[in-house]
Amino acid sequence: MHFSEHDRLCIPVPFYHCFGMVLANLLCLSVGACMVIPSEHFDAPAVLHAIEAERCTAVHGVPTMFIAELEHPDFAKYDLSCLRTGIMAGAPCPPALMQRVMEDMHCSEILIGYGETEASPLTHLTTRDDSMERRTQTVGKNLPHQEVKIIDVETGQTVPLGEIGEICFRGYHIMRAYYGQVDKTAETINESGWLYSGDLGVMDAEGYVRITGRRKEMIIRGGENIYPKEIEEVLFSHPKVAQAAVFGIPDEFYGEEVMAWIQLHANQESSEEEMRNYCKQQLAHFKVPRNIWFVDDFPMTVTGKLQKFRMREIVSEKAQQQQEE
């Protein structure tokens, strides 16, 4: 981030989470930078006001936070020209969103971070010197003194470069254990010290990693493996779409079917047909969402992560109601 005592970081992420604790507090303390706390809990207009009033040079956040800021009706009224950098992490970061943050929020050096709490938390980070493609479509390379490999989910063997597998970490940064949970720890860290992330990704010849989705979220439709992140990025690139979430729901014929929840920009209208036709132009036919709901908001955790399990429950509950009617 090229951070120094001259920087001022706006921190909308919670301090009890690794994002706020390590990437915000420790970052600022290590170089003597100013910490700006916009509100007790995330509030988009408070963040925008704090950036302008305190002339912040950096801002952190998960993707949903940046979306909320960009979509706020008074966004254009705030002067954010002071921004330079920050980290977007905690969930998949769509390339189209990265572009908007760079251009509309003037945050030209924004970075993508990747990792997990069990790894202290970052394992990968882009740099401002990476190409625009790598800065928006990858999570960068692994950090110094850390190992990373991508394995076949069935055999556990390291896959060739360019092939999808589960991402694993090893190094000084890996947790010792889940407290009091020996069995859970053994499931997560093997005898050689490799931590299984549960994330799927692909690595290129120079070590840059692209996340393709969560292993548990992969949709298997009629024997075809479908990664929700790929579909979400296509939907997110539609000019009317503010946010999208894709997940699998049970289907008697295919086993699973693709469903998409879509939130439109304010004052926009669309239809399932429009969205499917848009997807058909960029995706294989079996990846096009069969079920599409237009929603005003999404169930989320307090740290701003989408709760897809809750979305599935809501879909199931509605289907049950319709059957009873």
Mean pLDDT of 49-58: 98
- Pair (234, 304) in one structural domain: yes
- Pair (240, 205) in one structural domain: no
Residue 97 lies in a domain: yes
Q: Which region among 59-73, 137-151, 211-225, 261-275 has the lowest average model confidence (pLDDT)?
A: 211-225
pLDDT class of 303 with cuts at 50, 70, 90? confident
In angstroms, rounded to a whole number, what is the distance separating the alpha carbons of residues 106 and 109? 9
pLDDT of 325 > 80? The answer is no
In 3D, which of 232, 221, 234 has the Cα closest to residue 279? Answer: 234
Mean pLDDT of 23-36: 98
Residue 136 lies in a domain: no
- Pair (245, 299) in one structural domain: yes
- Pair (275, 244) in one structural domain: yes
Neighbouring CB atoms inside 10 A of 317's CB total: 10
Mean pLDDT of 250-269: 95
Report the pLDDT value the prediction gives residue 324, as an integer from 0 to 100: 83
Residue 3 lies in a domain: no
Report the pLDDT value the prediction gives residue 43, as an integer from 0 to 100: 96
Residue 130 lies in a domain: no
Residue 179 lies in a domain: yes
In angstroms, rounded to a whole number, what is the distance separating the alpha carbons of residues 45 and 69? 7
In angstroms, rounded to a whole number, what is the distance separating the alpha carbons of residues 277 and 290? 11
- Pair (29, 80) in one structural domain: yes
Q: Round the average pLDDT of the chain to a whole number and report it.
A: 96
Domain end among 197, 214, 231: 214
- Pair (172, 258) in one structural domain: no
pLDDT class of 140 with cuts at 50, 70, 90? very high
Mean pLDDT of 258-283: 97
Domain end among 162, 195, 214: 214
Report the pLDDT value the prediction gives residue 223, as an integer from 0 to 100: 87
pLDDT class of 227 with cuts at 50, 70, 90? very high
Q: How many CA atoms lie within 13 A of 91 on its CB side?
A: 24
Domain end among 168, 185, 214: 214
Mean pLDDT of 40-61: 97
Report the pLDDT value the prediction gives residue 280, as an integer from 0 to 100: 97
* Residue 251, both tokens: 């289907």
Tens of pLDDT along 149-166?
999 999 999 999 999 999
Tens of pLDDT along 183-200?
999 999 999 999 999 999
Positive/negative CA dihedral, 203, 209, 211, 216: positive
In angstroms, rounded to a whole number, what is the distance separating the alpha carbons of residues 235 and 167? 25
- Pair (84, 31) in one structural domain: yes
Mean pLDDT of 78-83: 98
Give the predicted TM-score (pTM) of the model: 0.91
- Pair (229, 200) in one structural domain: no
Q: What is the CATH number of the domain that holds 72?
A: 3.40.50.980
Q: What is the CATH number of the domain that holds 299?
A: 3.30.300.30
What domain range is 79 assigned to?
8-109
Report the pLDDT value the prediction gives residue 167, as an integer from 0 to 100: 98
pLDDT class of 302 with cuts at 50, 70, 90? confident
Mean pLDDT of 275-292: 97
- Measure the CA dihedral 319/321/323/325, to 10°: -150
Residue 127 lies in a domain: no
- Pair (227, 193) in one structural domain: no
Residue 182 lies in a domain: yes
- Pair (269, 224) in one structural domain: yes
Tally of domains within the chain: 3
Report the pLDDT value the prediction gives residue 322, as an integer from 0 to 100: 86
- Pair (189, 269) in one structural domain: no
